[in-house]
Amino acid sequence: MYNVSVGNPATEFIGLDLGGTFLKAARVAPDGVVGRRLRQPVESDSVDGLLSQLAGAVRKLEEDGPAPAVGLGIPGIVEPVTGIARGVPNLPSLEGLPLAAELAARCGRPAFAANDANAGALAEAWLGAGQDVRNMLYVSLGTGVGGGLVLDGRLFLGHAGYAGEIGHIQVEPDGVRCGCGSWGCVETIAGAPGWVRRAEKAVAGRPSILAGQRLEPAVIVEAAHAGDAAALEVLDGAARALGAGIAATLNILNVERVVVGGGVSAAGAILLDRVVAETRQRTFPAVFAGCSFRPSALGADAGVIGAARGAMLAGG
C-alpha cells in the first residue's frame, strides 16, 4: 500500500489512536517526534458523539497551528478502497462508516484511516524495531491480538484490508467462541480477556497469589514472576497460542523480523522468551533462523505515530 520510509512533509501532522476505552492523540513532526498530546475516555454512546470527539481532539491539537492532514487508527478493519470500517466489536457504532471521509468532513482536513495494528506496523517499520528490515510482522497484544504486515518495504493490507490478522488464526479447534465468529482463535487465549478467563479457572480449588485479586495481565505476570503455579499456567498458555500463530505466519511469509507491542507486551522477557521458544518448535529451522524478535521500540506511541505517518504518506 505505502512505502514505509519515504516522504518528508514540512509540518506536523495529527495522529489519533482510538481504542475501545481511551482516545490518544498527538501532533507528530516529520521526523517522528511526538509533540503535544491528549488522552480522553472514549465517548462511545453514539456515533455522532464519537465523531464529534475525534474532531474536537483535532481542533484542540490545532491550537498550536494547523495540520495538513489527520490520521486515525481504529480497533477494526478499514477497507482499503472504500475506507469503510468493518468488524469493530468494541466500538460497534463505527460499523459501516466511511471513517476517513467522515473525519475529513468534520475537520476540514484530508484524513486517513487504518486498522490500529497496521498503524503500529507502519510506525515500527519507519522509526522503531523494524526500520532495518524489509519484511516484518507486527503483533499487538491488548484486549485483542492484532497484527500488521510490512512486505518488501510496504504496508500490506490484502484485498479487503484483513491481512495480518494473526489474532484470528485458530489454535484450539474446540476452544471458546471468538468475536470474529470462529472458535479457539489466538485472541481467545492471548487477548486480555482470555488471560482473565483462564486465570479464574486456574485459581479454582488451589492456593494462588491471584486469589482475591482483580485479575488482569499485569497482575498475572507479577504473580508469575513470584513463581505462582496458576499464573505460570496462564502465561504459558498465552505464549503457546502466540507461538503457534506466529509460527504459522512465518512458515507462510518467511519474514525477517517479528515486533511485539501493545499493552500486554509490557510483560517483557517473561512472556517474549516463551513466545520465541514456542515459535522455534513450530517453525521450519531455516525460517526461524532467519527471523529475529524484538519488543516494540515505540511503545504506547506506536499508534499515534503510525496514524500520523499514514496521513503523511497518503499525500496530506
Say if residue 306 is in the same domain as residue 290: no
Interatomic CA distance for residues 145 and 112, integer angstroms: 22
CB atoms inside a 10 Å sphere around CB 214: 7
6 occurs within a structural domain:
no
200 occurs within a structural domain:
yes
Interatomic CA distance for residues 262 and 269, integer angstroms: 14
Helix/strand/coil percentages in the chain, nearest 5 = 45, 20, 35
Say if residue 308 is in the same domain as residue 234: no
Question: What pLDDT shows up at residue 129?
Answer: 96
Say if residue 81 is in the same domain as residue 138: no
Residues of the chain with pLDDT under 70: 1-10, 315-316
Q: What are phi and psi of 179, to 5 degrees?
A: -60, -20
Interatomic CA distance for residues 139 and 184, integer angstroms: 18
Given a contact cutoff of 8 angstroms between Cβ atoms, the answer to whether 223 and 210 are in contact is: yes
293 occurs within a structural domain:
yes
Say if residue 214 is in the same domain as residue 279: yes
Say if residue 87 is in the same domain as residue 175: no
Say if residue 113 is in the same domain as residue 241: no
Given a contact cutoff of 8 angstroms between Cβ atoms, the answer to whether 261 and 141 are in contact is: yes
Say if residue 147 is in the same domain as residue 283: yes
CB atoms inside a 10 Å sphere around CB 303: 33
DSSP-based three-state secondary structure for 128 = coil
Find how far residue 95's CA is from the centre of its chain: 19
Q: CATH number of the domain at 77, please.
A: 3.30.420.40
Is-above-0.85 flag for pTM?
yes
Question: What pLDDT shows up at residue 92?
Answer: 85
Say if residue 145 is in the same domain as residue 214: yes
Interatomic CA distance for residues 303 and 25, integer angstroms: 9
Say if residue 276 is in the same domain as residue 155: yes
Domain count within the chain? 2
5 occurs within a structural domain:
no
Say if residue 233 is in the same domain as residue 111: no
Residues 121-137 pLDDT 10s: 999 999 999 999 999 99
Question: What pLDDT shows up at residue 58?
Answer: 95
Asked whether the CA dihedral 116, 187, 165, 85 is positive or negative, the reply is negative
Interatomic CA distance for residues 123 and 94, integer angstroms: 24
Interatomic CA distance for residues 52 and 85, integer angstroms: 17
CB atoms inside a 10 Å sphere around CB 196: 17
Question: What pLDDT shows up at residue 7?
Answer: 47
Say if residue 106 is in the same domain as residue 154: no
In the beta sheet, which residues pair with residue 261? 140
Residues 279-311 pLDDT 10s: 999 999 999 999 999 999 999 899 999 999 999
Say if residue 27 is in the same domain as residue 166: no
147 occurs within a structural domain:
yes
79 occurs within a structural domain:
yes
128 occurs within a structural domain:
no
3 occurs within a structural domain:
no
Which domain covers residue 202, as residue numbers?
133-297
CB atoms inside a 10 Å sphere around CB 218: 14
